[in-house]
Amino acid sequence: AGVYLQDNIISLQNKLSSKATVFQLDITNQKDIDAAFELVNEKTKVLHALVNNAGISAGYMIDWTSVDTMRKVMDVNHFGHVAMTKKFLPLLIAKRDSRVVNICSAAGYLAARGMSSYSASKYALESFSDCLRREMFHWDLKVSIIEPGFMRTPIIEGLVKPYPEFLTSLSNDVKERWGEEYLKGWHTKMGQNPLRKIADDPLKVVRALQHAVMNTVPHIRYRPGWQSSL
């Protein structure tokens, strides 16, 4: 299991079997990706399943969000998974019936106001996954997409910053153009988003993931939780 934060590595090691290998992985760093490949290659020479799960959310309305922020989100949520998949393809196609499972989002088919960076990255990962499935059909590589809505995970806690911090992140021309009354109202509505407040159980995603990895006939798409079925 590749993990980005050092604290999470220790936490996961304490929860998993001693047979599990947990290592540091930044999927935007090619050296980390290469090291992960070598680790797996030395152990097994083949890989049954690659699960691409890393993700971040940042930015607001398109006019409020810097291109640098958009690139950062795309680097993690899309290009990082592309790089991981391309690197591990030789191990995946070394056997029949291997799997790539990409954790996408309901935001990958439903574009909402204020989530442009996140939605764009998930739309990109959705189309990449569909292309990969069709291109690797000859190799019997199964590609599944999991599309949850809001889940009770740490990522939703950082969606809405405190108002002073949010305001500081905006340029002066944006604040002048939109006006503080609108900005404050929008910020309040985001904090009261009912979908966020009644986020679903992440174990539903785990069950979908387990099916995609272990079942003899994995689904092309999984939509765990009631929000992704709206």
118 given a catalytic annotation: yes
The one catalytic residue among 118, 123, 163, 222: 118
Angle in degrees, 0-180, between the axes of helices 80-92 and 30-43, rounded to the nearest 10: 20
Closest listed residue to residue 51, CA positions, set 75, 17, 27: 27
Determine contact, residues 90/141, Cβ cutoff 8 Å. Answer: no
Q: CA-CA distances (angstroms) from residue 185 to 8, 108, 115?
A: 36, 26, 17
Residues with Cβ within 8 Å of 88's Cβ and at least 6 positions away in sequence, in order, are: 37, 40, 47, 50
E strands present in the chain: 2-3, 23-24, 49-52, 99-103, 142-146, 221-222
**Catalytic (active-site) positions:** 118
